[in-house]
Structure 1
Amino acid sequence: MEEAILRILTPGRSIDILRDVYAAKERERPYVIVFVGVNGVGKSTNLAKVAYWLLQHDLSVTLAACDTFSEASDQEATRTKSDVVLVDTAGRMQDNEPLMRALSKLINVNSPDLVVFVGEALVGNDAVDQLTQFNQKLADLSAVPAARLIDGILLSKFDTVDDKVGAALSMVYVSGAPIMFVGCGQSYTDLKKLNVKSIVNTLLK
């Protein structure tokens, strides 16, 4: 059982943001991360934490607010020699087709390096459903054949779930996307990498 859970929580797709940012720097272009999710899950809060984490690694960051990200934002980041662009999209429910269509267009037209889904750990299976439907809508509403889907997951409010960590397992299993960070508080430093071993131990208590 332990081996099976470890396999699920360690998906084949490995994402090393710092390595990829430095690779983009060598090509003299900014690395672009888009944050998506439903209303009120903590996208902006956790985007700020990711920005702080990047700044701690001596990287420069440009923030693009809401759904106004365009080629102009990318040109501005290039002009100011920013290493990373963090795009904070407006929250939207997964069944709101016009907003999901707009999100699909934003992602497919701008081709960001990384699409991160922010979900609340404390809502359990609701977060799994949101993630599944986001991916489905991004695929269904895409105007291009090879639709971009969610690349990674940031679980917010992870400090509120105690031993109820099953949603983390389910989200990785249904999407194949790794949990890149967990948010565990309100301050800039309350962002951690997922400790897979501790999740396994908690599930098997």
Structure 2
Amino acid sequence: MKPTVVFDLDGTLVDSLADITASFRHVLRDFGLPKPDDRAMAGLIGRPLVEMFRRAVPGADAEALAEAYRAHYREHMADHSRPYPGVPELLARLRGEGYALVVATTKRGATARKLAEAVGILHLLDHVQGTDGLPAKPAPDVVEAAVRAVGGRGVCMVGDTVHDVLAGKAAGLCTFAVTWGNHDAATLAAAGPDHLEPTLEPLPERLEPALARR
């Protein structure tokens, strides 16, 4: 079984906040609803879409808002989204070192694959796992399903939110949290990741001791 590294997508591999925020605000504007500020918006990312709308505008029809969001986001998901600096090179390096690379995201699988393809990293991934009926992070189900899909041996969960850290812990994996995404360093530190870094650059070296313990 190949050692497998599990990545979150938004805020970890792809800087997608601008497009997510634009679609979110487009829908709220169309429905005549108030829009959260940037800080509040970033804090919602990583949760299921319907839950995001319920938290942002309590009492609104979150299901209708979510469907309208999906329609807009499908057409605009890559207007501004790009891989974070060094991500394609990092993924290529890890593949060359024998790791299987998978994504475990709260997005629907088809949407996540479309985004990964649009920003040019899909070919570097062995599998992209969306929730698709599974419990969302911090439950470990999406993480475990991603590892199973490649018949791998899970080594580490890499993400940018508390939900990623908790899901990785629940799946029994090493946890690596990166602060260039949607949760700040203090918030992430409170979740107790094994590693907390400003970028993904140190990841290969952090994987070596984790791999030795698996």
TM-score norm. by structure 2 comes to: 0.33
